[in-house]
Structure 1
Amino acid sequence: MTGEQLKALRERRGLTQTQMAAFVNELTGRKYDKQRLSKWETGKEALPRDVLGRLLLLDLERPESPLPRPGTTVAVGLQKGGTAKTATSINLAFILARAGNRVLLVDADPQGNATVHVGVPQTDVVALTEAGKVLYHALMGKTPLDAVIRPTGVEGLDVVPSSIALASADTELPGNLTNAQTALAEMLDGVRERYDVIVIDCAPNLGAVTINALTAADYVLVPCQAEPHAILGVSAFLDTVAKIQRRLNPRLEVLGILPTMVNPRQTQDRSSLEDIERLWGDSRRVFPPVPRATIYAQAAGANVITLDADIGAPGVESYAAIAAALLTAMGRLQETVDAA
């Protein structure tokens, strides 16, 4: 968020600099004054990270226009592993929920990492699997989806948990000729009215469950690690998306490409960012890159959402930009927020 964007946010709320400083103090528990706010707006000082994160959230909480389609669905996918798909899915879902949206996170990866990161203990995952209350059972028609959905510790955010049982769906779904490619879409149709946004964390493959996710989605977001093999994977993935658009889901759109785990001091990372811009910058939206930061590994180790642990974590600008682009496409924001 630039100083100009901060000023625009303040003016949209009809606040003076003194009033905005007081408002920021309420948000953060700090003691900033008009002079400090003025320095932020003029660019003489950088916004503190915790202030930045809270203001980016605030900028997403604007008056809504009528929602044209409830349960707008975004799939987060790439067939290569290790590109921060789960981190992207859970942090995007978190920031959307914190901005006042009703969000359903669907963990469509048999590894189930998104499930534990939003507050479902591993012991509960085992128990839910044994009780037939994970995504696999709902997807295969063995359990109603309502019996699977669980609340998380974040207000407005629910999750469809996953476990290793989902691995069987990739072989079982193709044998179900009646809805082999649309089972997930049909399953989600029953709950779309209850959610503003559905975020699907896809597995790192192009199996039957991932094809189902792309068939169910309105948008697809592609996280791409800043390294050559991931970039090659994006080209192949976009080819698959194009086939899905032609054959199964003509409404599917590419929301954008998100460079992840970027260290701007590394020559290879800078070169990869240039390659991403060169290859897709003219035809696709490339979101601000998420930097490589230890807090992501720490949050993963603690099974928590990074932005829930630290709203000013590096990368919050990227997730806010993605949320703004999605909400703008949905008609819920009147203008796009450029959080670069």
Structure 2
Amino acid sequence: MTNPERDPAEITCRSVPAPGVEVMEPRDVPLGGPRAMTVRRTLPQRHRSLIGAWCFVDHYGPDDVADTGGMRVTPHPHTGLQTVSWLFTGEVEHRDSAGHRALVRPGEVNLMTAGRGISHSEISTAATRRLHGAQLWVALPDSDRDTDPGFDHHVPEPVTGPGWEARVFLGSLLGSTSPVPTYTPLLGAELLLEPGTTLELEVEETFEHGALVDTGVLDVGGTEAKQHELAYVPPGERRLVLTAHDAAVRLLLLGGPPFGESIVMWWNFVGRSHEEIVAFREEWQRQIAPGGAVVGDSQDVVDGRFGVVLGDRHAPIPAPPLPNARLKERS
């Protein structure tokens, strides 16, 4: 998914230590015009930019596609990251410039590696009536951020216990391990808790964790997180205690060791310096049309860092203007 903000701010991302559980509220970001769907963005925030290598968390729906028009994110570029798509309801078609075409369906993870550069589109299918899910980004470490673009798909088998169910789509939890490769240790799982259920999880002590509440109200180690909020748990915990009280809870549990690197994230690019971001933007603008004006057919250009989204006839998204100030590189 693209970052649809008209004036995306520079975000210098680094992990910030915290003494205990911290609850973060989302902000609404429209994906397009007045009839477009809106996403709830809980990461990055001004005071916290990463949870492990997770650097971007958008949560949306359930939306009536007849009202919102569904997801219509036409070809756009990425660098230095992986996108992770997870749906609860609906269906989205993914196409990218590395030649991959896939459907994103509930309970199936699609992970796209941008590496040195890729472009892709995400369009909800004609059969979709309600759309509900999450779009997540993972920052690639400096040693691997120029890797080749790639794509992985996995359908995790559910793991069940008294009053709970889990689907582990990245990393390991509750005896289940995902085969999807990542460039830093990560955890990604959907958890369902019936009313009154308490689930004690053995987790990696070196990981920081985030619990994104999709439905219900979740107690995380004695701290309450309401629907659509993201509860952050700093490293140092060997157990996470999750409780659903009067209503069922669905959540996404994310985790990883503190990233340990600063990144500059602007629009759809993850880089390390002002000059890199400027160069990425200029290359995308040159690729989609002479002079940077958007064209009506993404097939018009067949070369460049970001390639062509094969079979997609939608107009690509032009990059927004850079801010007047220099993007700062911070350690």
TM-score after normalising by structure 2: 0.29
Name the one with the larger helix percent.
1
Name the one with the larger strand percent.
2
